């Protein structure tokens, strides 16, 4: 059996996952059970679309609960770097040299990645290129379109 990949979480990500798990366990699961009871009361289960739908929803909720429980049993908390080198959990201000554009990203584990909030996965090419580097370093990032240079302007604590 292969070694499990580490699941990296920031404090915020951990709180969000715990909140989602509580919601699924305490609100969604009982709601789905109630939907199943109501669908069963409609009669013949072999041709009962409501029952099939409720069973499908129950399977999805239970799978999500299992997934969250696995993550919460196997995570490593990140974000306690020294601010001198880029690491998971850090906010980093970079300059795209070719475009002369700046951007700020937070490097997170893949479960927390959200490009719309500038949270990039530690497994992304950009994160791989800057991990372990210092402010002032210029690095080359590999992409589908070739390589491009960026400069790390600041590691924000």
29 pLDDT higher than 60: yes
Looking only at the bridges linking them, the beta strands covering 75-77 and 7-9 are: parallel
The class level of CATH for 7-77 reads mainly alpha
User: Left (φ > 0), alpha (ψ -120 to 50) or beta: where does 116 sit?
Assistant: alpha
- pLDDT band (50, 70, 90) for residue 1: very low
Residues of the chain with CATH 3.10.50.30: 91-156
CATH number attached to the domain at 91-156: 3.10.50.30
20 pLDDT higher than 60: yes
Per-residue pLDDT reduced to its tens digit, 77-124: 877 666 688 888 888 999 999 999 999 999 988 888 898 999 999 889
pLDDT for res 83: 66
Terminal Cα-to-Cα distance of the chain (whole angstroms): 38
Residues of the chain with CATH 1.10.287.180: 7-77
11 pLDDT higher than 60: yes
Comparing 6 with 105, the larger pLDDT belongs to 105
Edge-to-edge strands, sheet with 91-96: 119-121, 101-108, 91-96, 146-156, 138-143
Could you give the C-alpha distances from 30 to 37, 58, 69, 146, 154, in angstroms and in order? 11, 10, 18, 51, 47
Cβ 124 vs Cβ 73: under 8 Å: no
28 pLDDT higher than 60: yes
- pLDDT band (50, 70, 90) for residue 2: very low
């Amino acid at each position: 059996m292969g070694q499990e990949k580490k699941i990296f979480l920031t404090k915020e990500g951990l709180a969000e996952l715990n909140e989602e798990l509580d919601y699924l366990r305490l609100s969604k699961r009982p709601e789905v059970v109630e939907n199943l009871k109501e669908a069963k009361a409609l009669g013949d289960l072999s041709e009962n679309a409501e029952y099939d739908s409720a069973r499908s929803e129950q399977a999805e909720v239970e799978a999500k609960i299992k997934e969250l429980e696995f993550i919460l049993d196997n995570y490593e908390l990140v974000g306690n770097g020294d601010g001198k080198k880029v690491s998971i959990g850090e906010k980093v201000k970079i300059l795209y040299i070719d475009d002369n554009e700046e951007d700020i990203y937070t490097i997170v584990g893949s479960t927390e990645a959200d490009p719309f909030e500038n949270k990039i996965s530690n497994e992304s090419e950009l994160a791989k290129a800057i991990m372990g580097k210092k402010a002032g370093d210029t690095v080359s990032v590999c992409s589908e379109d070739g390589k491009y240079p960026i400069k790390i302007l600041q590691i924000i604590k």
